[in-house]
């Protein structure tokens, strides 16, 4: 029940700085495209004003051309709401309200809804489960197009009683999970992911991959970053998922989410195995900066690692799912780079840390002070000398290096003593 409207707006000219971000959002479909564009032009994204105006105009065009969502369309013209007034004013100059579309679409949506509800009643009188199930899904698709996501979820939930076989059960779970993602109802997402794992068709790798992606989004929303990273890092190859899940995310989103979450939470040994995993590499190949970030960290090249992450910063911040967590995760990676760099040393100049990690000396001082207070760095700052010094016997890598050196000296002296005794004939 896709709605194609004849009153199409002209193509929106995009500001150069926002072209990449907005074009990327246009690759999504269904409610995901609308919600992502709404996030970019909203107050919380931190996008430049011109980017927000571009996103708002594209959102209006998308709603007119691809949906029946009159409610969201009207909301994009509202003042004092989620979008700043000056952004709304600027967008109004480029893409004013289409009253004809509002009137025609309201009537069309109402007619379609009456027809679908009539079909549902007729299906129930036939007592054919497959027919009832199909009608519920059609009704849910209509509600999604009209922006009634809660009603769509109700239809999918009511269809449970008419599901037959594990394949249909898997599809039903996926429908509930994806709709719950649009609603940000992550508790529901987790519940139906578990239900799928118990009763769904685990041989259907495509449905399983999509369910796992939604589970990763739910875990990320709860701040369970390591578990979320595992969901994205251990999916089937990108050819399985492809862009067939654009209603929620794209294959290169898997690389973006997985690389940042894993970098922030997993040890170097695990990251090294991921960079050589054929499955995850198939996703990383779609987003070279993510691949470079992982590879650079594994090679102890912390500056290039953070530079690769910085190159993806706008995309991270403008992503409706990752955006609220991006700054925190980037900070976790930066701190991890500092800890890893300092590990082998007993003391280190802040200027060296700053240069190697690719941050300013002031930022290095701030990061080191925070890590020392939290106990992640067993060190103290000597601000007068501009040096970070270990305390309490040093870090684990440093102690291990000294222990190995002492063992080597003991073994070398014992070997030389034995050779001397053999030469003197005592042995």
Q: Which two tokens stand for residue 241?
A: 């998922």
Q: What is the pLDDT of residue 396?
A: 55
C-alpha span between 174 and 162 (Å, rounded):
16
β-bridge mates for residue 388, sequence order: 348, 381
When computed from its CA atoms, the radius of gyration of the chain, rounded to whole angstroms, is 28
Any idea of the CA torsion for 44, 48, 53, 57, to the nearest 10 degrees?
-70
Cβ contacts of residue 396 below 8 Å, gap of 6+? Answer: 343
- Which H or E element spans position 324? helix 323-342
Mean pLDDT in residue range 105-121 = 94
DSSP label of 78: -
Alpha carbons within 13 angstroms on the beta-carbon side of residue 230 total: 7
Q: What is the pLDDT of residues 330-364, one digit of tens each?
A: 999 998 998 888 888 788 888 888 888 877 888 88
Q: What is the pLDDT of residues 182-237, one digit of tens each?
A: 999 999 999 999 999 888 666 789 999 999 999 999 999 999 999 999 999 999 99
Residue 4 has pLDDT above 50, yes or no: no
Residue 397 has pLDDT above 70, yes or no: no
Mean pLDDT of the chain: 86
Is residue 370 classed as helix, strand or coil in its secondary structure?
helix
Sheet with strand 379-382: strands edge to edge: 347-349, 387-390, 379-382
Residues 240 and 206: beta-carbon distance below 8 Å: yes
Is residue 382 classed as helix, strand or coil in its secondary structure?
strand
C-alpha 34 chain-centroid distance: 17
CB atoms near residue 161 (< 10 Å): 10
Task: Tell me whether residue 293 is exposed, middle or buried, using C-beta atoms within 10 angstroms of its C-beta: 0 to 12, 13 to 18, 19 or more.
Answer: buried
User: pTM (2 decimals)?
Assistant: 0.83
C-alpha span between 359 and 380 (Å, rounded):
19
Residue 13 has pLDDT above 60, yes or no: no
CA diameter of the chain: 109
C-alpha 404 chain-centroid distance: 42
C-alpha span between 97 and 114 (Å, rounded):
27
Q: At what angle do helices 225-233 and 205-221 cross, to 10 degrees?
A: 160
Do β-strands 379-382 and 347-349 pair in parallel, antiparallel, or remain unpaired? unpaired
- Which H or E element spans position 25? helix 19-25
Closest CA to 148 of 115, 97, 182: 182
Residue 244 has pLDDT above 60, yes or no: yes
DSSP label of 96: -
Residue 17 has pLDDT above 90, yes or no: no
C-alpha span between 369 and 50 (Å, rounded):
37
- Which H or E element spans position 380? strand 379-382
Work out the pLDDT band at 38, boundaries 50, 70, 90.
very high
Work out the pLDDT band at 402, boundaries 50, 70, 90.
low
Cβ contacts of residue 303 below 8 Å, gap of 6+? Answer: 355, 356, 357, 358
């Amino acid at each position: 029940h896709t709605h194609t409207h004849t009153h199409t707006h002209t193509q929106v000219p995009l500001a150069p700085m926002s072209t990449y971000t907005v074009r990327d959002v246009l690759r999504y479909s269904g409610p995901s495209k609308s919600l992502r564009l709404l996030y970019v032009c909203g107050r919380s994204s931190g996008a430049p004003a011109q980017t927000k105006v571009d996103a708002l105009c594209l959102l209006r065009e998308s709603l007119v051309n691809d949906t029946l969502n009159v409610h969201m369309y009207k909301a994009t013209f509202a003042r004092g709401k989620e979008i700043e007034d000056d952004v709304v004013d600027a967008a109004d100059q480029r893409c004013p309200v289409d009253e004809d579309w509002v009137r025609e679409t309201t009537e069309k949506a109402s007619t379609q809804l009456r027809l679908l509800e009539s079909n549902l009643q007729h299906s129930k009188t036939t007592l054919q489960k497959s027919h009832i199930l199909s009608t519920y899904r059609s009704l849910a698709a209509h509600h999604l197009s009209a922006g009634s996501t809660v009603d769509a979820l109700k239809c999918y939930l009511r269809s449970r009683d008419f599901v037959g076989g594990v394949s249909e059960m898997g599809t039903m779970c996926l429908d509930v999970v994806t709709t719950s993602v649009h609603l940000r109802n992550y508790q529901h997402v987790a519940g139906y992911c578990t239900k799928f794992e118990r009763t769904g068709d685990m041989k259907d790798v495509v449905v399983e991959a999509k369910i796992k992606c939604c589970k990763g989004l739910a875990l990320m929303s709860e701040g369970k970053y390591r578990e979320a990273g595992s969901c994205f890092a251990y999916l089937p190859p990108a050819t399985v998922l492809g862009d067939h899940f654009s209603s929620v995310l794209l294959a290169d989103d898997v690389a973006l989410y997985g690389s940042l979450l894993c970098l922030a939470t997993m040890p170097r040994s695990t990251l090294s195995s991921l960079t050589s995993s054929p499955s995850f590499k198939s996703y990383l190949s779609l987003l070279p900066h993510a691949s470079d970030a992982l590879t650079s960290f594994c090679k102890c090249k912390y500056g290039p690692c953070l530079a690769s992450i910085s190159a993806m910063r706008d995309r991270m911040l403008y992503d409706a799912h990752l955006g609220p967590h991006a700054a925190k995760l980037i900070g976790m990676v930066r701190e991890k780079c500092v800890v890893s760099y300092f590990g082998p040393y007993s003391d280190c100049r802040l200027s060296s840390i700053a240069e190697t990690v690719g941050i300013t000396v002031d930022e290095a001082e701030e990061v080191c002070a925070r890590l020392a207070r939290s106990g992640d760095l067993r060190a103290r700052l000597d601000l007068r000398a501009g040096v970070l010094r270990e305390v309490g016997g040093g870090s684990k890598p440093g102690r291990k290096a000294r222990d190995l050196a002492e063992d080597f000296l003991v073994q070398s002296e014992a070997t030389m003593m034995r050779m001397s005794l053999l030469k003197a004939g005592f042995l």
